[in-house]
């Protein structure tokens, strides 16, 4: 489950443990934060995620004391190596908070190398509910994602 929503702090909670007790990793790198609520991964555009692995048990032996509640490991997509160039544009709108979003992604490859580049930007006002407006729930968020791959024989390098 999550603690927070929208522009609020999204902090994962595994079996009642959150903040510095659930380790978040993206492509084998730890996500850290100096915020009191702990790290989150809301800046990762879901379109760039290949899969998410969740270890729901204490994993401190392997990952350290910040993984006592478990580990959330986000693995991002790799560039397609299909010898072509392609792009996508997306837009979204949410009526509950007038959220507007715009994004793009570019992907291409040539011989042994490929790249993936994407951007997503979101802007939202305060949430509206039957009991009124939720003050200070507005947010502006942007994320930029880039990945380069090189494949030679049986070896792969991804940055």
CA–CA distance, 139 with 135 (Å, rounded to integer) = 11
Instruction: Please indicate, yes or no, whether the overall pTM of this predicted structure exceeds 0.85.
Output: no
Return per-residue pLDDT of the chain as tens, 159 residues. Answer: 444 555 455 667 777 776 778 888 999 998 877 666 566 677 788 889 999 999 888 787 888 888 888 888 999 999 888 878 999 999 999 988 899 999 999 999 988 899 999 999 999 999 888 888 888 888 898 889 999 999 888 888 888
The number of CA neighbours under 13 Å toward the Cβ of 112 is 8
Q: Give the Cα separation of 108 and 84 in Å (integer).
A: 5
Alpha-carbon torsion (75, 19, 103, 94), positive or negative:
positive
Alpha carbons 99 and 92: distance in angstroms, whole number: 8
Tens digit of each residue's pLDDT (9 = 90 or more) over 97-138? 899 999 999 999 988 899 999 999 999 999 888 888 888 888
Q: What region does 148 belong to: left with phi over 0, alpha with psi -120 to 50, or beta?
A: beta
Q: Please tell me the chain's helix, strand, coil percentages from 3-state DSSP, rounded to the nearest 5.
A: 10, 55, 40
Which DSSP category does 47 fall into? G
Handedness of CA 102, 86, 143, 62 (dihedral sign): positive
Q: Is the dihedral of CA 44, 87, 109, 144 positive or negative?
A: negative
Angle at 75 between CA 70 and CA 81, to 5 degrees: 165
CB 115 within 8 A of CB 83: no
Please give the domain boundaries of the chain with CATH numbers for all domains: 2-76 (2.170.130.10), 85-158 (no CATH)
């Amino acid at each position: 489950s999550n603690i927070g929503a929208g522009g609020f702090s999204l902090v994962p909670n595994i079996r009642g443990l959150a903040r510095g007790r659930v380790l978040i990793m993206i492509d084998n790198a730890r996500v850290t934060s100096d915020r009191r609520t702990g790290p989150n991964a809301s800046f990762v555009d879901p379109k760039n995620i290949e899969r998410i692995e969740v270890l729901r048990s204490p994993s401190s032996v392997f990952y350290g004391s910040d993984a006592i509640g478990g580990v959330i490991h986000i693995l991002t997509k790799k560039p397609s190596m299909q010898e072509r160039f392609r792009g996508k544009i997306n837009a979204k709108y949410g009526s509950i908070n007038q959220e507007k979003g715009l994004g793009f992604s570019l992907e291409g490859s040539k011989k042994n190398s490929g790249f993936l580049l994407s951007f997503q930007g979101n802007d939202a006002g305060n949430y509206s509910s039957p009991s009124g407006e939720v003050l200070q729930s507005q947010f502006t968020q942007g994320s930029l994602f880039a990945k380069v791959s090189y494949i030679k024989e049986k070896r792969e390098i991804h940055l």
